[in-house]
Amino acid sequence: MRRQIREAMQLIEDVALNEQLPEDARKALLKALKLLSQAEDSLVEVKSQVRDITYTLQELAQSLGLDVKLSNPRLSIDSGEVLDLIEKSAVAELEIEDEKAVVKKLVTQQAPEA
């Protein structure tokens, strides 16, 4: 998606440099360029947040002794012992319905204040 945003920004910039355009059209194109730049920044921020969430889930899974594949990020639980362990955990709150367990809340440990 970033590539498409970059291409759109380049096209708009190329058109905005045309001196034959009326000033109001040029201003509108520059505003569109600014908005696309802000959208790209937001996309980078979201990507960073997803990376952080993925890391947190990996750490949780490892601490519970589960194997998680990033290509298909689903926890497959075969043992009731694992569910009991998660239910007793101080970092997660589960809602169990039939054969599905949904994590409702994750709490991360914060560093002690100095």
Q: How far is CA 108 from the centre of its chain?
A: 17
Beta strand extents in the chain (DSSP E only):
92-97, 100-106
Query: Tens of pLDDT along 33-87?
Result: 999 999 888 888 888 888 888 888 878 877 777 766 666 555 555 556 666 666 6
41: alpha, beta or left, given left = phi > 0 and alpha = psi -120 to 50?
A: alpha
The rounded Cα 113 to chain-centroid distance in angstroms is 28
pLDDT at 24: 92
For residue range 6-37, list pLDDT tens digits in order: 898 899 999 988 889 999 999 999 999 999 99
pLDDT tens-digit readout, 35-46: 999 988 888 888
